Each structure stands twice: as structure tokens, then as C-alpha cells.
Structure 1
Amino acid sequence: MRAQWGGLGAARPGKPQPRSYRKMVCLPATPLALRRRLGLWLLVGLCLSAGYALEKKVIKGKVGEKVGLPCCYEIPSSESLQNYRVYWQKNTTDVVLAYAEGKMISTPKNRTEMNETNLTLWISPVKILDSGPYQCVVQRLPRSLPSSFVVCDESVTLFVTADFTEPNITTEVSTDSCELTEMVVRCSSHGGFPKPKISGTLNNVSVVWNASWVSKSSLSPYNVTGTLWLNVTEDISITCSIENDGFSKSTSLFLKKTNECVVPTVPPPYHVITASTIIMIFFIVAITLTARYLRRHVRSRRRKPQDTVEEDVKEYHICRFPILGIPRCSPHRLLYSNAYCVDPLALWKGMTAAENSA
């Protein structure tokens, strides 16, 4: 029975097993998988090391500072620069510095120098235009060999940044009423690099600015301006932040809503102004004439005699019987009367009767 012979791979009694089958059973089944796993881990390690190396080759600096770009080779203490040829070049074609047998063989670029031991390229003061890839090439010049050979050839990238100015917040009121105030808020900053990001808050709530950037070229400083349109009904606090390359600058502004409601006065029409002016002129003229009249009247009163009896006595002519229509009068002193001629006899009788009755 097969069940008595044992499981898979057991030798059948009384019958020898072929050698090929014996070898197939005895060989391990895992070397290929192990090789694949080892290769995968090696690839991951190479990628990580390559990424780390690339990260190390990016040098950052700020405008105005002194920046050093490291080379991939350092001359041993037992040797000197005379045994090497060193090239520092930018963008693969623009030579910055070059040394051969310890002597400079190129005109150095402005603001650059090289350390003769570790071959570091120093730039001071650095500018935005200095940004870009740099390459360090080192060749050894052995005396026993007919030609030189390269011992180092690697690149390093310089990234230059510039700080932005402190953000400046300005406001402009477009409409102001008792209920609300419409205004335009602007936040601006300039002179920075690279292109920044503008953000902010309104009463501790994030807001999105309508941002615009201005730059002359890809390697020129930026000017940034953010704009907000607000309907202000209460006191507000505004914060503006400018961020670039991990650096941030912020400014805050507090705006107070005034509760005073002033209704603007409407100027009167032109015809009303004209009529009012004419009335004022007539009024002034009337006052002036009245004052002059009163002054003259007072002066004339001062010139009259003080005796009231004599004031009422005037000299009249007593009319007699007219002859041929021409009255003949003789002067007599009589009391004042509205009549042109007074009969003296009748006047005397009237005065006597008045005295008797008294």
C-alpha cells in the first residue's frame, strides 16, 4: 500500500531512487528569493544614499553674506596644490576659478576665492545672480605618468535668498455710512527672493489675499501686494504674513469702527443764496439810513429854544376886511392857530370866557 511508504519524497523500499530526483529534492529552494531581496535592499540603500548626497549638495545663502561651496576632494597634508589641476565652473561652461600646478591660470570672477587645501570656493558678498549649479573638477598630475587623471568631478547647487521688508498694511475707505464701512486693505512688501507666499487672518480667521507679484526677471527681487475688500461693521484685527523659503514676517493692524453717524449737510440752491444776499443788503441799507435820520433829528432838537410858550407863539398878520380881493393885514402877536387869519375880537372873548369858567 502507498500509505505504508510514507509521505512525499520518501524512498520506496526495494527500489533505488534516481539521482536526478535525489538532487532535486536535496537542493534548497530559497537562494533566488534571497538574491532578489538583497538586490532590492541594495537598490533602496543606493537611492537613499543618492538622495542624501543630492540634499547635501544644495547650499543656501542670503544676499550680502559669505557663502562657501565645498569641493569633492581635499588635498592630503603630504601633498600640495602643485600636484593638481583644479577647476571651478558654473553652468558647466563659465569658468569661475582655475589652478594648475599651484598657480592661478584664469582671471578670477569678482568676489570669489578658493581655499588651497579643501578647495572650497568662497563668494562674498553673494548675490541673487550667483544662484545656480557649480562644478568642481580636480585632476592629479603625477610625474611618473604621461597624462593626468580625474580624482573628483561633482556638482553643487547654490541657492541665494533675500529677505522681504516688513509687511506694510494700508487702508482706503470707499464708502462710509451709519451701518457699515466699505474699505480696501492692502498689504505690501518688496525686495525679497524667491517668489513669496502671502497669507493672513481677520479676527483670527484665515483669509485669502488677492496677491500680485512683480519681478524684472527670474533672478530678480520680487515685490508683492495683497488686496482685501471688507465691509466693516465692528472692530477688526488684520494680520498679514509674507513667507518664502521657510522664513516669515508678519504685521498686524487694528481697525476701530466709529459709532458717530454724521449726516452730510446739503448746500442750499443757488437762487436761495442770491435772494438771501439781496435781503441782507437791503436790511443793512435800511439800518444805515435809519441811523443817519435819527442822528440828524437829535441834532435839530438840540437847536430849538427851551421855552415851550415861546415856541407856540408865532407872528401872524391879522386879516381885516379885504379890499378888492386883496387882504390887508397888520402884524400882531397871536397864539398859534391853524387858521390863516384870526379875528382878534373873537379870540379875546374866547380867552375871557375860559378864565371866568376857571
Structure 2
Amino acid sequence: MMYTQKRELMFSTTVLKWFLWLGLFVLPFGCSDTVQVTAKVGDVATLPCNYKMQQPLASYMIYWQKYVGPAISDLVVIAYSNGKENTVKDIHFQNRTKMDVKTLTLWISSVNVSDEGKYRCIILLNGEHKGDKWVHLSVSADYRKPVIHVSHNPCSPAQLTLTCSSHGGYPEATMSWLVNNETVLCPYTSIYDNGSESFNITGNLKQNVSEDILVQCRIHYSGLQVSSEHHLSIGKCLNPSPPPPPHGFITASIVILVVLALVIVPTTFLRCRRRKHVTSHQPVATSEMTSQQLSNGTSEATCA
């Protein structure tokens, strides 16, 4: 019994190696019946095999492989032999793939950009090749809503520079502008970020503005589109009145005025009293001077 299991395992491994070796010489892009499948980053991709089972699963050997390139061994996505899933699987697909044992449909969870490519479903019945199916998986990620930045506020006719930017999308996108519903094509820059496996796109539009216009920036990718619009208004920019002083400034001014009042009023009052006091004693001094002058005979004035 142990010898039989060992022999079956050796046969399974040999057949798998044979198909991997065969894949080096088969050009997958020559298959005209390739099925096209699209999935978004983070979702589950469904890859159909479209094979009608004629015998119990235990009679088949099923392989799902991903084509890498010429002269490179295909990656094993999932494999079944003797009715059970085989442990032979590429590390990139560990804990991410399942197969429907009735329809042979492959599911890939948590899809990422590196999953994009061509996959092949290979069916063997009792060691005899019964068919295969090619499936091309395209992966996409939604771009963020574009952000439009204007160089300055157009309160008078001028040439403005508008910048539109978006990020986080896949595959590479194109950018177009609409100015009052007329399409305008301008240069843009698209950069791939290896860390996030996504593209960042930025473009500029120079526009002579002498009247109100509606500007729209559009990002196109995988048959999808995301856009933003900006309304440039001329003649509605009034000279703004100076803003009211802040509340803190008013409070500080009141405090300063009160302090000045408390200092200036008493000081003024004391000065007034001092002057009044000096004025009230001047006649006495004059009277004394007059008496002294009379005694000395220096004045001709007389007293009644």
C-alpha cells in the first residue's frame, strides 16, 4: 500500500514537471480562444476553465498555471491529484487560491497588480491530456478623484495655469481637459510607484481667461473615467473691504484706554489743584512785598 502511494506521488510529480517543461515551448499567445477576465485590486478574480467533468475528480489531474515568459517555468497556482489539492504551489499564491471541484473554476483572492497575466487550466484523465484553457486576467485599480489647482484668482483677464493630479490607479491612464465642453489635449506625466503598484498622473493646462469658463479634468483608464471640474469666474471679484479688527485687538484697545484714563485723569486733577493752591497764595506774597516796599520807601502807592 505504501509502495503504491509512493508510486502515485512519483507519477504525479513527474507529470507536473513534464507539463512545466512543455510550457517552455508552447507560445500561449497563439491561442485564439483566450478568455478575458477583469478584476479590481483587493477583489476576488474568477477564472473559468469551462471543462465538463466526465469522471470523478479522483480520476483527474488538474493544474492551473500562470505563464511567466519564454524560457521560464510557469508558476503553479493550484494543482489537484487523486481528488485532493496538491501541496505543490508557488509561494505567491499560497493561501490565496481555491478551485471549484465541479467546474474547475479558479478563484484568486486579494488580487494585486502582480497577478495580472495569462493563466492556463490543464486537464489530465488517467494520465491522458484531455484539454486546456487559457484565461487572461487584467487587473485595475481606481484612480482618486482629480484635484485641480489654479495659479491665482482670476479677477482680471489673464493667462492662468491649471494643474490636475490624481494617483493610486492602475493601469496607466490618459488625461484630457474640457474647456466649456470642448476637448483640449495637453501634455501630462505618468509615473509608476513600485511600492503601491499604482500610477500617479499630473498635467498642466494654460488658459487665457477673459470670461467665465468651466474647466473639467478627466482621467481615462480601462474603459473607466474619473473627473473633476472647476468654475473660473471673471468680474465677480470685488475689492474686498478691510476685515474688521479681531476681537482680541478690540479688547486690548479697551484695556489700554481704561489704563490711560486711570493714569491721566488723577494726574490732571492733581496738577489742577496744585495750580489752584499756588494761585490762592500769590496776593499774600504781594501784600508782604508791598508792606516791605512801603517801609523801605520804594513805592509811591497809598493805602486808604
Structure 2-normalised TM-score?
Answer: 0.66
The equivalent of 2:251 in structure 1 is none
| Paired amino acid for 1:87 | Y
SS at match of 2:118: strand
The equivalent of 1:206 in structure 2 is 183
Q: CA RMSD, aligned part only?
A: 3.5
Structure of greater Rg: 1
The equivalent of 2:206 in structure 1 is 229
- Distance in 2 between residues matched to 1:63 and 1:187, nearest whole Å: 24
| Paired amino acid for 2:119 | Y
Pairing 1:30-109 to 2, within 5 Å after superposition: 54=32, 57-76=35-54, 79-91=55-67, 93-108=74-89, 109=93
User: For residues 299 and 114 of structure 1, do their structure 2 counterparts lie closer, same or farther at Cα, with a shift above 3 Å needed?
Assistant: same
- Distance in 1 between residues matched to 2:50 and 2:56, nearest whole Å: 16
2:278 alignment partner, one of 279, 286, 300: 300
The Cα offsets for residues 247-268 of structure 1, whole Å up to 9 and x where unpaired, read as: 1112111233344468xxxxxx
Q: Which runs of 5+ in 2 are unaligned?
A: 1-28, 68-72, 241-269
- 2:286 is aligned with 1:331: no
Q: Which runs of 5+ in 1 are unaligned?
A: 1-50, 142-147, 263-291, 318-329, 337-346, 348-358
User: For residues 65 and 300 of structure 1, do their structure 2 counterparts lie closer, same or farther at Cα, with a shift above 3 Å needed?
Assistant: same
User: For residues 54 and 314 of structure 1, do their structure 2 counterparts lie closer, same or farther at Cα, with a shift above 3 Å needed?
Assistant: farther
User: Is 2:173–2:220's contact at 8 Å kept on the other side of the alignment?
Assistant: yes
1:119 alignment partner, one of 86, 99, 104: 104
Higher relative contact order (CA 8 A, sep 6+): 2
1:189 alignment partner, one of 153, 166, 169: 166
- Distance in 1 between residues matched to 2:45 and 2:154, nearest whole Å: 57
Deviation at 1:299, TM superposition (A): 4.4
User: Is 2:61–2:125's contact at 8 Å kept on the other side of the alignment?
Assistant: yes
The Cα offsets for residues 307-343 of structure 1, whole Å up to 9 and x where unpaired, read as: 99x58945437xxxxxxxxxxxx7348435xxxxxxx
The equivalent of 2:134 in structure 1 is 155
- Distance in 2 between residues matched to 1:157 and 1:300, nearest whole Å: 112
User: For residues 139 and 335 of structure 1, do their structure 2 counterparts lie closer, same or farther at Cα, with a shift above 3 Å needed?
Assistant: same
User: Is 1:165–1:191's contact at 8 Å kept on the other side of the alignment?
Assistant: yes
Deviation at 1:123, TM superposition (A): 0.9
- Distance in 1 between residues matched to 2:33 and 2:52, nearest whole Å: 20
User: For residues 133 and 177 of structure 1, do their structure 2 counterparts lie closer, same or farther at Cα, with a shift above 3 Å needed?
Assistant: closer
- Distance in 2 between residues matched to 1:131 and 1:314, nearest whole Å: 126
User: For residues 140 and 125 of structure 1, do their structure 2 counterparts lie closer, same or farther at Cα, with a shift above 3 Å needed?
Assistant: same
The equivalent of 1:277 in structure 2 is none
User: Is 1:314–1:333's contact at 8 Å kept on the other side of the alignment?
Assistant: no
Deviation at 1:204, TM superposition (A): 2.2
The equivalent of 2:123 in structure 1 is 138
User: Is 2:161–2:205's contact at 8 Å kept on the other side of the alignment?
Assistant: yes
SS at match of 2:164: strand
User: For residues 255 and 302 of structure 1, do their structure 2 counterparts lie closer, same or farther at Cα, with a shift above 3 Å needed?
Assistant: farther
User: For residues 225 and 297 of structure 1, do their structure 2 counterparts lie closer, same or farther at Cα, with a shift above 3 Å needed?
Assistant: same
Deviation at 1:219, TM superposition (A): 9.6
SS at match of 1:215: strand
Deviation at 1:102, TM superposition (A): 1.2
1:242 alignment partner, one of 216, 219, 224: 219
Paired residues in the alignment total 235
